[in-house]
Amino acid sequence: MSSDVRTYLELMRYKNCLMAGFAAVIGTLIAFNILASDALGSYHPGNFPFLDAGLVFLVVFLISGAGNTVNDYFDIKIDSINRPERPIPSGRVKLKEALYFSYLLFALGILLAFSINTVCGFIALFNSLLLIFYAKTLKGTPLLGNLSIGYLTGSTFLFGASVFGFEGLETLFVLFVLSALAITAREIVKDIEDMEGDKMEGADTLPLRIGAKKASYFAVIIGFLALFLSPLPYLMSLLGLRYLYLVLLADLGFLAAIHQIIVRNNPAKSSKMFKIAMFFALLAFIAGV
């Protein structure tokens, strides 16, 4: 692999892109199993769509990489101080080259998404525009930036399910909501953890705007909402008993995260517990089918 290719993969943060791609394929798999096993449903897919699942992976990989690249393009000043080793501030990739590269990745991802179906295409198009808007504007907007990350991360499942059109979206919408809530709560906690650095950089985050204590209460309310709604996939007969058992472990993780931020005032530990809880929630999604 040439050094240029390695540099551009580094710019995309390809490991994160791989994880996002796999999450989307899990969304396809869960939606397929639910739709195929629903005897009363109006939509029954045939064999598992391996080609479309491969395209889903590729689309999410490309658009995630484009989002990371355009994010670095707008973050050039901050990265020059905090992350000088990154491809753009280190001079290994020119600023305009990075911008054109991100546009190329977005365009390829959107075209491939439309080749699956129009639902996939419009989700890819909307998410691409949101990623650009987030990097340019929303990142510095209290709460809206957190909500954007919650939506974008949770929507990888939704995109995977959209292989089956609107039926797939309906099937996985509850899982998307649960994921988006949990990720939004964790993003607020991460902002509390990063308050000192953000203050030095002149960032405008929710904790800096309303204070760490009020922001932690905000994160807890969103976390409790995710916890309260967690039995819904079982109650709606989307996922089985194994989901319920495993999601209880995830809920215990969310409670531990809430305890760490409210009682212990430890955002770093809380953020870690949120991450562990989300891992168990993902296992619950997979096992519950």
User: What pLDDT, in 10s, does the model give residues 167-176?
Assistant: 989 888 988 9
Q: Where does the pLDDT of residue 91 fall: very low under 50, low under 70, confident under 90, or very high at 90 and above?
A: confident
**Nearest of 186, 193, 164, 205 to residue 278 by alpha carbon:** 186
Whole-number average pLDDT of the chain: 89
Per-residue pLDDT of 223-269, as tens digits, reads 999 999 999 999 988 888 999 999 999 999 999 999 998 998 898 89
Residue 46 buriedness (CB in 10 A; 0-12 / 13-18 / 19+): exposed
3-state secondary structure 24-65: HHHHHHHHHHHHHHCCCCCCCCCCCCHHHHHHHHHHHHHHHH
Q: What pLDDT was estimated at residue 3?
A: 58
pLDDT digits (tens, 9 = 90+) for 212-221: 899 999 999 9
Integer Cα distance of 210 and 206 in angstroms: 6
- In this prediction, residue 38 carries a pLDDT of 72
Query: Rounded CA gap, 46 and 58, in Å?
Result: 22
- The pTM for the full model equals 0.88
From 129-133, 182-186, 278-282, the region with the lowest mean pLDDT: 278-282
Backbone φ/ψ region at 265: left (φ over 0), alpha (ψ -120 to 50), beta: left
**Average pLDDT, integer, range 186-215:** 84
Q: Which of 37-51, 87-101, 257-271 has the lowest mean pLDDT?
A: 37-51
Q: Where does residue 150 rank: exposed (0-12), middle (13-18), buried (19+ CB within 10 A)?
A: buried
How confident is the model at residue 287, as a pLDDT? 86
pLDDT at residue 80, rounded to an integer: 77
pLDDT at 2 exceeding the cut of 60: no
Q: What pLDDT shows up at residue 39?
A: 62
pLDDT attached to residue 199: 77
What mean pLDDT comes out for the span 117-145?
Answer: 93
Across 12-25, average pLDDT? 92
Average pLDDT value for residue range 179-193: 91
Domains along the chain? 3-287 (1.10.357.140)
| Cβ–Cβ < 8 Å for 228, 213 | no
pLDDT confidence of residue 141: 85
Note the pLDDT of residue 12: 93
Would you state the pLDDT for residue 40? Answer: 63
| Mean pLDDT, residues 76-97 taken together | 84
User: With pLDDT > 90 as the criterion, what percentage of the chain qualifies?
Assistant: 56
Euclidean distance between CA atoms 8 and 269, whole angstroms:
33
